[in-house]
Structure 1
Amino acid sequence: MDNQLLMAVIIFMAGIATLQYFRGRKLNLLLMQHYIRAIKDVVKPEDETYTWLGGYIGFRAEYKVNRDNLRKLEYTLTLLPRHSLLYFPVSLVTARHDKLYLVFKPFAQIKREAHLIQKGYYRIGPNIENEDLLQKEEINIGGKKYEALFEKRRDVEKLKSLLESLSKPQNVKHVALTPKTNVFYVLMKPEPETIEDDVKKLVEFVNREIKESPFSS
């Protein structure tokens, strides 16, 4: 390859990288704005705090709600690096998709532990402190296999019903009730078209099911 051709290739690749940067940055910023607006419309926090994660990969949010059974919602949105021509293809293998981590903190006390974890999602299993003490069972939800870990089966049945009510149950990778920290946790792949309806159902679950039996009694 002569010098002129090499220079042309370098200039072409630089142009493509620059175009990808601006287009990817714009898309990620639009996604962040959309998710903030959609979740706020559902939760209606009385106070809110945001922490930028750096670059254009997402943010952390903390909402003080203090309404019904929901005291606080903390969530983290991490996006694929669509602005990076080189790293974006790698992230499709390592991260696989955008991720939304939701931590609901209710007023009612969660009494028992329960998890639904999509089979094969974690390359290294999640650190569940009392895993050895929990019953285990494999169940099918929305065409995907999930590992259920629980103290009482009725808790898992409630979580299963919740997932089946969502727009795409398979987008939920891990859902958990943890009494030690008294949180309801959801890790999911968010989608702009359905995020508002899904978060609304999660909030309804906190206000109706966790406030009542079986989780708080």
Structure 2
Amino acid sequence: MKITPELLLLIMILGAIATLQFYKGRKLNLTIMDYYLRTIEKVVKPKDRDYVWIGGYVGFRAFYKVNEGNIDKFEYTLTLLPRQSILYFPISKLINRHDKIYFVVRPYTTIRHEAHLIQKGYYRFRPKIEDEELLQREIIEANGKQYEALFEKRRDIEMLKEFLQGFSKIENVKHISLTPKTNVLYIFMKPEIETIEQDVRHIVRFVNESIKENPFER
């Protein structure tokens, strides 16, 4: 293939754009990560902390030892769209759709019954739920969004629905669950800088108040 001056100029321009986007996108992702980290720490107030970098500028995992109220451990995984890559970003946007945050909260209270709220139509391949065939199921609606409810005891799904309705933007919450096998509250959602503090405060309050008071032992 013959390289003409015009083609060479085009390659140089594309290279310059890709380089500029790399530095701009990298800085943006690092700024986003720093903001989420500082904001969540401010709310959770961990006694001890540990972080694992997920590689590149994609995100990180945080492990907090809280030892306060009803919260033993508070963990989360943040994954961001690859804003630093002008080529991969549109592909990732199509496949992954948005930034994601996964919260795993380990309370002192013993969780006795399984309960899930899963936003309908979000998962292309829904995650496997152990002994799903034993759970009751129904469709509930919150703020115009439909969620598939899977549960053992109705009172638990009613509590999760109330929890769901307390988030700043209900549509950002994709999956929440109470899992007795691992004794965790799980929340998968789309994070937003403007609302992350409010949403984390809501999670902490729910674990310290609603889960602690809920009659799981019965």
**Identity over aligned residues, as a percent?**
59
CA–CA distance in structure 2, aligned partners of residues 214 and 4 of structure 1: 75
CA–CA distance in structure 1, aligned partners of residues 139 and 199 of structure 2: 24
Residue 78 of structure 1 corresponds to which residue in structure 2?
79
**Cα distance 1:21–1:215, how it changes in 2: closer, same or farther (>3 A)?**
farther
Q: Which runs of 5+ in 2 are unaligned?
A: none
Residue 134 of structure 2 corresponds to which residue in structure 1?
133
- TM-score between both structures, scaled by the size of structure 2: 0.97
- The structural deviation recorded for 1:214 is 3.6
Secondary structure at the residue paired with 1:211?
helix
CA–CA distance in structure 2, aligned partners of residues 125 and 54 of structure 1: 26
1:207 aligns with 2:174: no
CA–CA distance in structure 2, aligned partners of residues 216 and 98 of structure 1: 37
**Cα distance 1:216–1:54, how it changes in 2: closer, same or farther (>3 A)?**
farther
Residue 198 of structure 2 corresponds to which residue in structure 1?
197
Mapping of 1:1-217 within 5 angstroms? 3-215=4-216, 217=218
| Contact residue 154 and residue 214 of structure 1 kept, 8 A | no
- The structural deviation recorded for 1:165 is 1.2
Query: Which AA in structure 1 matches 2:202?
Result: K
**Cα distance 1:13–1:139, how it changes in 2: closer, same or farther (>3 A)?**
same
CA–CA distance in structure 1, aligned partners of residues 181 and 213 of structure 2: 18
| Contact residue 108 and residue 216 of structure 1 kept, 8 A | no
CA–CA distance in structure 2, aligned partners of residues 216 and 144 of structure 1: 31
| Contact residue 137 and residue 147 of structure 1 kept, 8 A | yes
CA–CA distance in structure 2, aligned partners of residues 53 and 143 of structure 1: 35
Q: Number of aligned residue pairs: give it.
A: 217
Note the aligned Cα RMSD (angstroms).
1.1
Question: Which stretches of structure 1, 4 residues or more, deviate above 6 A after TM superposition?
Answer: none
Secondary structure at the residue paired with 1:103?
strand
CA–CA distance in structure 2, aligned partners of residues 158 and 92 of structure 1: 33
